[in-house]
Amino acid sequence: MPTTQFLAELPSIAPLDRTLAAALQAKINGKTKPLGALGRLENLALQIGLIQNTLTPRIAQPHILVAAGDHGAAKAGVSAYPQEVTWQMVENFLAGGAAINVLARQAHAQLLIADAGVAHEFGPRAGLIDAKIGAGGTADYLSGPAMSLVQCMDAMQRGAVIVRDLAATGCNTLGFGEMGIGNTASASLLTHCLTGLPLAEVIGRGTGLDDAGLEKKRALLTQALAHWPERNDAPLDVLARFGGFEIALLSGTMLAAAEAKMVLVIDGFIVTSALLVAARIAPEILDYCVFSHCSNEAGHRLQLAWLKGEALLDLGLRLGEGTGAALALPLLDAACAFLNEMASFDSAGVSQA
């Protein structure tokens, strides 16, 4: 099937309706504060109001979706950790013991885990969505495609189904996380191919590679590019060549979430690589995105600059799992709360400047 036919089957995103922009800005400016005094919270309130097309936006039933998948290239040594850690960490998520569990609880967000292609059989489990594409994860992209275009499209469509089910329950805000040993390497290749940023500048230490491990990772990823003689920058072709099933699923969830007019809360380097794919397919998606934080992983700051995205937080995080998204959710609540609950100059009888 031609790539253009695949693209036609993906969710369609409407441009953001800015009809209420002036009214929202007037409401923000009318609160009992100097103009602009709440800084980024004011920008957030305006953005969320426009996404929801209302003067009284709210964050309803927020969820964080963590997609997990294994990578064939992980066995070549692109990570400091063995591949088995992927399924072991999924078990940790399901047991409630990981960082994302703690931070999602703190943010009053529901956590969902999607098995997009982990090399392990979990069986039916509460909180686990079976979206498995390949039982053993992707193929080794060091010598060939990580997945076929059909598999790539399947993963994206499964992600879209998850989001449509969430939207039907009233969820209007979705954060994104990931788990997959070796997926920072995949994200580096996606970022380089989709943006043209120098490969060396978007390759980082991932789970903690030492200097020798980092040099090996750089050599392996350079080799992976050399084994793709028909290289191009078409988003689905790049995703199928170097992506993970979890990254493909996330790209599909993002497109469907924007189609459903949700607020998309973007996490770190790997999640942003999935957004790069989605944004190349539908640039309108960026109006629906809140960039939760700037990761300490090499390349994330460059991704944000390329996307013209401004992160809410800069805490030196490099864990993934959606932890940055969870930490940012209370700021979205705060933006809606001040817009809806704070007195205006008129209602409070306070003189304006």
pLDDT recorded at residue 34:
96
Question: Domains in the chain and their CATH numbers?
Answer: 63-338 (3.40.50.10210)
Give 3 or 39, the one with higher predicted confidence: 39
pTM score:
0.95
pLDDT recorded at residue 1:
43
pLDDT recorded at residue 171:
98
For 196-235, the pLDDT digits (tens) are 999 999 999 987 889 998 899 999 999 999 999 889 999 9
Confidence band, pLDDT 50/70/90 cuts, at residue 345: confident
Helices (H), 169-234: 183-195, 211-226
Between the alpha carbon of residue 265 and those of residues 142, 160, 204, 287, the distances in Å are: 31, 16, 23, 12
Name the one residue in this structure whose structure tokens are 């809410």.
312
Q: What angle do CA 336, 18, 249 make, to 5 degrees?
A: 75
Name the one residue in this structure whose structure tokens are 């013209």.
308
- Give the range among 37-41, 72-76, 150-154, 186-190 with minimum mean pLDDT: 72-76
For 277-295, the pLDDT digits (tens) are 999 999 999 999 999 999 9
**Which tokens sit at 105?**
């609880």
Confidence band, pLDDT 50/70/90 cuts, at residue 10: confident
**Average pLDDT estimate for 326-338:** 98
Q: Is 321 labeled as catalytic in the residue annotation? A: yes
For the chain, what is the radius of gyration of the CA atoms?
A: 20
pLDDT recorded at residue 207:
79
The answer, yes or no, to whether residue 5 has pLDDT greater than 70, is no
The answer, yes or no, to whether residue 2 has pLDDT greater than 70, is no
Closest CA to 28 of 16, 40, 17, 11: 40
For 229-265, the pLDDT digits (tens) are 889 999 999 999 999 999 999 999 999 999 999 999 9
Q: List the helix and strand counts (H, then E) for the chain.
A: 14, 6
For 23-48, the pLDDT digits (tens) are 999 999 999 999 999 999 999 999 99
Q: What number of residues does the chain have?
A: 353
Give every CB contact of residue 29 below 8 A, 6+ residues apart in sequence. 35
For 100-128, the pLDDT digits (tens) are 999 999 999 999 999 999 999 999 999 99
Rounded to the nearest 10°, the torsion over CA 23, 304, 207, 242 is 110
d(CA 279, CA 263): 15
Name the one residue in this structure whose structure tokens are 């960039």.
291
pLDDT recorded at residue 3:
63
Annotated active-site residue in 84, 91, 321, 341? 321
pLDDT recorded at residue 115:
98
The answer, yes or no, to whether residue 89 has pLDDT greater than 90, is yes
pLDDT recorded at residue 135:
81
Give every CB contact of residue 217 below 8 A, 6+ residues apart in sequence. 77, 78, 185, 203, 206, 209
The answer, yes or no, to whether residue 4 has pLDDT greater than 80, is no
Hey, is 36 helix, strand or coil? coil
For 295-330, the pLDDT digits (tens) are 999 899 999 999 999 999 999 999 999 999 999 999
C-alpha 7 chain-centroid distance: 20
The answer, yes or no, to whether residue 52 has pLDDT greater than 50, is yes
